[in-house]
């Protein structure tokens, strides 16, 4: 009788371990997806800012020249 109880307890603990691992894996997927999505949004925003700056400066060479002038104080 006691062997049946021990076997049942061991099988229950295995089921609990598997369910905790599954929940942990799901949470990791959600976190990873959120980080990737946020990185993509920030990347698009950066690209839009650079394109806007190049348009306002008159082109990429003028943008770089203006940046060096601003940094050097000329």
Summarize pLDDT for 5-54 with one digit per residue, the tens.
555 555 555 555 555 566 677 778 888 999 999 999 999 999 999 999 99
Distance, CA of 15 to CA of 10 (rounded, Å): 9
Task: Evaluate whether 43 touches 34 at the Cβ level (below 8 Å).
Answer: no
- Burial state string for 36-72 with b = 16 or more CB within 10 A and e = fewer than 16: eeeeeeeeeeeeeeeeeeeeeeeeeeebeeeeeeeee
What is the token pair recorded at 12? 């229950």
What is the token pair recorded at 16? 């609990």
pLDDT at 30: 87
What is the token pair recorded at 15? 């089921």
């Amino acid at each position: 009788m006691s062997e049946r109880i021990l076997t049942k307890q061991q099988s229950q603990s295995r089921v609990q371990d598997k369910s905790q691992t599954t929940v942990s894996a799901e949470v990791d997927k959600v976190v990873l997806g959120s980080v990737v999505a946020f990185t993509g949004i920030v990347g698009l925003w950066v690209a839009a800012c650079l394109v806007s700056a190049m348009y306002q400066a008159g082109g990429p060479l003028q943008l770089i020249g203006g940046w060096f002038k601003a940094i050097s104080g000329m």
